[in-house]
Amino acid sequence: MNGTIYDFAGLPRLAAFGPDSRVRADARRLAATAGAPARIAMVSNPRSRRNKLAGGVPAARPGVIAAAPRSRAELRDVMIRFAAEGVDLVIVDGGDGTVRDVLTCSGDVWGARWPRFAVLPSGKTNALALDLGVPADWTLDQLLDAARAGRTATRSPIAVERRDQPGGPVRGFLFGTGAFVAATALAQRTHRAGAFNGVAVGLALSWAVAQTLFGSATGSWRRGERLGLRHDTRSVAMHGAELAVDRNQYLMLASTLERLPLNIRPFGAARPGLKTLTIDAPPRRILSAVGPLLAGSEAAWLERAGFHRVDAPALDLDLEGAFTLDGENFPGGAYRLTEAAPIGFVVP
C-alpha cells in the first residue's frame, strides 16, 4: 500500500470493484442486526515501519478478522468482504498513508452507514493518531479494551476529487501544495536517516525555512506555483482573506485535524472543520512570521503580510504542480476538496 504514486485516472477502476446491490444490502442487514456482538476486523500494512521492525503484523486475536493486503486492489476487496461480513469496527494497523488508503478504498462499500475505525499507529508518520490522542506505543489489547468501553471521537476526512474526471474521491486528513510538497520530500529523507513523526516534521520545517530565507528570489522555494482557488461561500470563517485567488502561492495547507505534530498551529486555534492556510509568493517577513504563525497567532499583521486563513466546507482548486495528501504525491489538475461526513474513531 506504500510506494505507488496515486493516479486519479485509476480511481474509476477501483470503483468498478465495488460491491453489487446484493452485497451492499447484506452488509447493511448484518451491520444493523439488533443485539449482535461487535464484529471486529483489522487491516495491517506489512510494510509499515513498526511491523517491519517487529518482523510481521500483530498476532491474531480471537474474534478479530485479520487481513494484510499488499496492493490497493487487494485492499478494496478486503473492505468489500468486511462490509459483507457485517464488520462494525475496522482497526487500521499502519500510518497516515494506510489510513488514507483504507478510507479511500472503502469508497461506496459502506453506503451511508460506515463502521467505527481505530488506528494502531505503526507508520513513519501518525498525525491522525496524534490528533486523536493515541499513544505511539498503543497495543492491540489496549485498543480492544477502549473499543469495548465505547470511547470514541469523530473526525471528518477531506474528500479530494477530480472535477474533470469521473470516479470516487481520495480521503485523507492533511493536504498541501507548493513548498509543502518539497518539505514533505525532505521529511521522507529524514525518515531514511532515522527521524520520524515530530522529529521529522521539525527537521523538514527547519530546512524549508532555511531554503526560503537563503535561496534566490527566483528560486523554486520563493517563486511558488500558480494556484486557482475558490472557497465555498457557505458557512465561511475568515480574517479578511480573499475567497478567490488566481496567482502564485508559496504554500497552501488544508486539514480537518485539530492537533498537528509538535503542537504547531498553522490554522490558528484548535477547532474542527476544513481549515485552509495560503501564503502569498514570494513570502514576506517569513523569518518574523514563522514563529507566530506556527504558534497559532491570529495577529492582523500576518494577514497583511500574505498569510491567509479561511475555514470553508468546500473549495475548488486548479493546480499547476503536484499536491501531497498524507505523505503521498498526486498530479496537478482541477480538484474539489470537501469536508466529508464524520467518522467515529476509537480513542484511549
- Give me the pLDDT at residue 206, please: 60
The answer for residues whose C-beta is within 8 angstroms of residue 287's C-beta and 6 or more apart is 209, 213
Beta strands 333-339 and 314-319: pairing type?
antiparallel
Q: 3-state class of 42 per DSSP?
A: strand
Where would I find the beta strands (DSSP E) of the chain? 40-44, 64-67, 89-94, 116-121, 152-155, 158-162, 170-172, 174-178, 225-231, 237-238, 244-255, 275-280, 307-311, 314-319, 323-325, 328-330, 333-339, 343-346
**DSSP helix, strand, coil percent of the chain (3-state; round to 5):** 35, 25, 40
Mean pLDDT of each 10-residue bin along the chain, 348 residues long: 42 33 38 55 85 72 90 93 94 94 92 93 90 94 95 97 89 91 70 46 59 60 86 71 84 93 89 93 86 91 93 95 91 96 97
Q: Where are the CATH 3.40.50.10330 domain residues in the chain?
A: 8-155
Does domain 8-155 sit in CATH 3.10.450.50?
no
Place of cell 517569513: 286
For CATH 2.60.200, list the domain ranges present in the chain: 174-325
CA–centroid distance for 107 within its chain: 15
Q: What class has domain 174-325?
A: mainly beta
Question: Which triple of cell numbers denotes residue 333?
Answer: 489538475
pLDDT at position 35: 39
CA 47: distance to chain centroid?
Answer: 19
246 contacts: CB under 8 Å, gap ≥ 6:
226, 227, 228, 229, 318
Neighbours of 22 (CB within 10 A): 9
pLDDT score recorded for residue 141: 93
Q: How many CB atoms lie within 10 A of CB 111?
A: 13
